Amino acid sequence: MTLLNETHDPARKSWVTSANGHEQFPIQNLPFAIFREANTKDQWRGGVAIGDSILDMAKVAALNLLHGDAKRATQAASETSLNTLMGLGATQNSALRLALSNALLEGSEHQAALESCLIAQADAEFNMPCHVTDYTDFYTSIHHATAVGSLFRPDNPLLPNYKWVPIGYHGRSSSIGVSGQTFPRPVGQTKKPDASTPDFGPCQRLDYELEMGVFIGQGTTLGQRIKITEAEQHIFGMCILNDWSARDIQAWEYQPLGPFLAKNFASTISPWIVTTEALAPFREAFTRPESDPQPLEYLTSEANTQVGNLDIALSCLIQTEKMRQNDQTPQQLSASNFIHSYWTPAQLVTHHSVNGCPMTPGDLLGSGTQSGPEADEAGSLLELTQGGKKSLTLDNGETRKFLEDGDAIIMRAHCRRDGAVTIGFGEVVGTLLPAVF
């Protein structure tokens, strides 16, 4: 089963020479963002990353070079958010990808015209790529679920439903921001284990969560179910997601209805959305240990089994206030891979809609923290410090159990594979400010 086409051809080079060999944005990638020239009040608009530049889709639309589906998709991509583009669906988005790939290809007849549509990424600022219509966070790493479960419920870490149900819960759209987001340390109720009454004050156990985000493309109406065989047609693409978490608030509030204020003060995503089609070369078989139950029939398809998984290398770094003052580069905290996910993106979409829940272009599905099986593959401080029992010592001598004011967390994601051109998701950066209290 191959999902590859000419746009994935490793031999393709672009006349945008910075794209060739670019570790994030070669011509095989072509991710979307919403951008404008920095320090202006220009209209936000869609752009496509190519090497060190952005192809301004509003300018491309004005040139009227493309035709048919690609033309309609270009118009959608020139809007102030990508929701319309997402809603066009896989066929039109694929047509746009092919047209852009050809137009950016070495020797394209459109080179002269499109050169006027480029802006350096260094000169741009980014907005949210779309209006997030609804946000759902899943819990797809069994390693994370087991590690966190053993801290919150030592006697019962992995609940009996975990291997059957892609566990998820609704999150908050209003506090999702794009890379560069800053937010004050949240304030709220916490309770010490031996206290009889709760405390009120700034969170003492602030954490990040290393996740991937899945953006829904074409939507559905109430009562409509997305079959597993059609699920990927409804996925526009993926981004990096940092689902900041206040562990002490979470521990006190989360029963019986789940996390609430522990999660909804901020979540940060990368500006770039890498499309489903761009990820095709990095697909993997979806497998389960023989001792685990196989997914129920509605979560099973031949394509999902053969190529439903994705090989996306993830890393998480910290840059403290002191590191910034001393011009020290960020230090890596952990590295993991999306391939450890217990459920595939298609399974998440199918499960989410199996009850008739309407999906909307711009819905964001978080993968949940992508911890791997090894201790240094943990996607949160909660896991790396064993719930704050163990201190991490950074290279500059600072120590961390949880985040301190001024800490910036940087997350990166790449797809690398023999025979394919490496692509990247850019990065997501978020910075914790002191509590306003």
Catalytic residue numbers, as ranges = 144
CA atoms of 87 and 189, how far apart (whole Å): 40
CB of 214 to its own copies, least distance (A): 16
Asked if the peptide bond before residue 259 counts as cis, ω within 30 degrees of 0, the response is: no
C-alpha distances (whole Å) from 336 to each of 80, 312, 317, 347 are 34, 9, 12, 21
User: Pick from 60, 66, 103, 261: which binds its own copies (CB under 8 A)?
Assistant: 261
Burial class, 132, CB count within 10 angstroms (exposed 0-12 / middle 13-18 / buried 19+): buried
Which of the residues 213 through 252 are near its own copies (CB under 8 A)? Answer: 222-223, 225, 246, 249, 252
**Residue at token pair 């284990």:** 193
Is 161 a residue that touches its own copies (CB under 8 A)? Answer: yes
Rounded (5°) CA angle 59-60-64: 115
Q: Does residue 295 belong to the site contacting its own copies (CB under 8 A)?
A: no
Strands 176-178 and 267-269: parallel
Contact call for residue 434 and its own copies (CB under 8 A): no
The string of DSSP letters for 102-136 reads HHHBTT-TTHHHHHTTEEEGGGEEEE-SS----EE
With contacts defined by CB under 8 A, name the span among 41-49, 132-140, 278-286, 373-381 that binds its own copies: 132-140
Sole binder of its own copies in the list 339, 354, 392, 420 (CB under 8 A)? 354
Residue 150 as a binder of its own copies (CB under 8 A): the answer is: no
Rounded least distance, CB 264 to its own copies, Å: 4
Q: How far is the CB of 348 from its own copies (least distance, A)?
A: 11
Counting contacts by CB under 8 A, is residue 297 touching its own copies? yes
Q: Which of 10, 21, 356, 373 binds its own copies (CB under 8 A)?
A: 356
Amino acid in position 252: W
| Interface with its own copies: number of residues (CB under 8 A) | 67
Instruction: Assign residue 207 a region (left: φ > 0; alpha: ψ between -120 and 50; beta: otherwise).
Output: beta
Q: How far is the CB of 133 from its own copies (least distance, A)?
A: 7
Given 4, 38, 120, 159, the residue binding its own copies (CB under 8 A): 159
Report the distance separating Cα 317 and Cα 435, nearest Å. 22
Interface with its own copies (CB under 8 A): 133-136, 139, 149, 152-153, 159, 161, 164-165, 167-175, 177, 183-184, 186-189, 191, 197-198, 200, 203, 222-223, 225, 246, 249, 252-261, 264-266, 293, 296-298, 351-352, 354-360, 363, 433, 436
